[in-house]
Amino acid sequence: MNHLIAPSMLSADFANLQKDIEMVNQSEADWFHLDIMDGMFVPNISFGIPVIEAINKHAKKPLDVHLMIEDPDRYTELFKKAGADILTVHMEACRHLHRSIQKIHSLDMKAGVSLNPHTPINTLEDIITDLDMVLIMSVNPGFGGQKFIPQSYNKVRQLKQLIKDTGSNAKIEIDGGVSTDNAKELTEAGVDILVAGSFIFKSDDPLKTIKELKQPE
């Protein structure tokens, strides 16, 4: 399959949010990526349910919601009601991960699990066949604009092999330091979904930047 592009709205202009939503609608991007941070699991606070609901009113593409929060099970139903199509929780934040994934699926959302840079791929062995997506964090989560961690290439290759060995249908998403400098190498390593925030929204021509990420040279 051709890889997907999911612009991270954390880097959008919140004073002109509808304008940036319309830009993504008109672009070659495939999803909206929404980072939810609680100031506890990660050292930052982003936005919550009201902003997701506002984006959902205008978005014409699926909402890919990434929960960087403690005890995400408390809010699964709320994110579904707000418009989430894909809900990703962190391996490191879930005490009973299999139960968390079952709950997401029971609400008719696709379920993803995210791994922090220090968390090894083998921790997914007992859950990989239940997942729709795995999100590899290629920076330490919490802030946009960070430098890509090179070890992430190896993690993607290891994950691709695990998916192949187990017959899983999980897609591979990567978030952090993604740009046209590494998009081609990432997709060749096995990435299915590229998340980019500041690289898109701080560029001179976001539509062109998304197109270049979609068709890396």
Catalytic residues: 35, 175
Do residues 3 and 192 make contact, with C-beta atoms less than 8 angstroms apart?
Answer: yes
User: What is the spatial distance between Cα 173 and Cα 34, in angstroms, rounded to a whole number?
Assistant: 13
User: Please, which residues have CB within 8 angstroms of residue 133's CB and are 6 or more apart in sequence?
Assistant: 86, 88, 110, 111, 112, 113, 170, 171, 172, 173, 193
Spatial distance between the Cα atoms of 186 and 156, rounded to a whole number of angstroms: 8
Q: Rounded CA gap, 173 and 191, in Å? A: 6
- Cβ proximity of 193 and 172 under 8 Å: yes
